[in-house]
Structure 1
Amino acid sequence: MHCSPMTKPTNSPVAVEAFDVDILYDEYLSPDTAVDFDFDFDFIAPVAKPVAKPTTSALLTNPATALLLQKPIKSLTREEKIARRRAQIAKSAQKHRLRIREEMESLQDELVALEAKLAAHQASDATTWKTKAANALEMRQVSEAMNASLRQSLSETTLCVHHWTTFMPNVHAVVGQDATLQHLV
């Protein structure tokens, strides 16, 4: 029984139709993977069994390779020399993979630490900028209030001056005469 990619696959070994290629779940899964099914028997992705990380001491304590690597080269047969060389290559490759893994782990730890530092700096910068923005907003509101009061007093003064010039058109002439009269007294 085939199921389309749009429907949920079941736990039975059925083929999946995708891009006109049939893949059986039983053939897809390796013996190292475990498949978990919930009560509805929906397919859940295979979970690989946890693999223990080899340490350098574990690489050096393998008795089969340790004996071959310790014997003098001249006393070995051709097959033992080939086995010794293969053991050397395998040990070198394992050490290399271990070094890469350790470096990746240290880089990931460093990445986490640097991201935490960056978040702390961004948070402190954010509070600094928020404080500066709040201060600037407060100063702007104060200056706008001052401008509004100055505009109000200017308009009142302008109206008062207009009033006096309307009702007393000859003020300038009278003031000028008073100045000349005071000069005579």
Structure 2
Amino acid sequence: MTPLIVVGNSDITLDQARVQMSVWSSWSAPLIMSNDLRAMPPGHADILLNKYVIAVDQDPLGIMARMVNVTGNCNVYPWCQMTFVKPMTPVIKNGTYSYAVAIVNRDTTAHPVSFMLSNLGLTNPSGYNVMDLWAGKIVGTYKPSDTYTANVNGTGVHFIKATALQ
């Protein structure tokens, strides 16, 4: 049985909906909705139709993300953070991938998150252009030794694409 996306159901918040859509897209999973499109709460259609997030799911390489970091105890609340990294296109001529990175906060309160790109396997010496996929905006250019910092909402996600530079 294929798992269904519950984005659009009124039982989850917009942040929780973004988490599910981000993780499903990172896994290259089928995007099959389980809700009545006519009765979606406000904001859910924008999540389901985000072209940047859908592009992660539909990346032609089809490589599934892997969990590269867990902070806290995900079996016991209140605090747990999981980081998923997915290699994707464009791949530059030296064989270096671009990446999608999803940082999931399972706590109910927001937390700042910082990581050095190289610690997640992003080692392109020329660096990466980083886009916040939910905001649809480039947030900067980062080298492998740079530290990236973001605030992740409670039960939310920070989802970026790091596009490798030549």
TM-score of Structure 1 vs Structure 2, range by shorter chain: under 0.3
Higher strand fraction: Structure 1 or Structure 2?
2
User: TM-score normalized by structure 2?
Assistant: 0.19
User: TM-score normalized by structure 1?
Assistant: 0.18
Of structures 1 and 2, the one with the larger relative CO (CA 8 A, separation 6+) is 2
Higher helix fraction: Structure 1 or Structure 2?
1
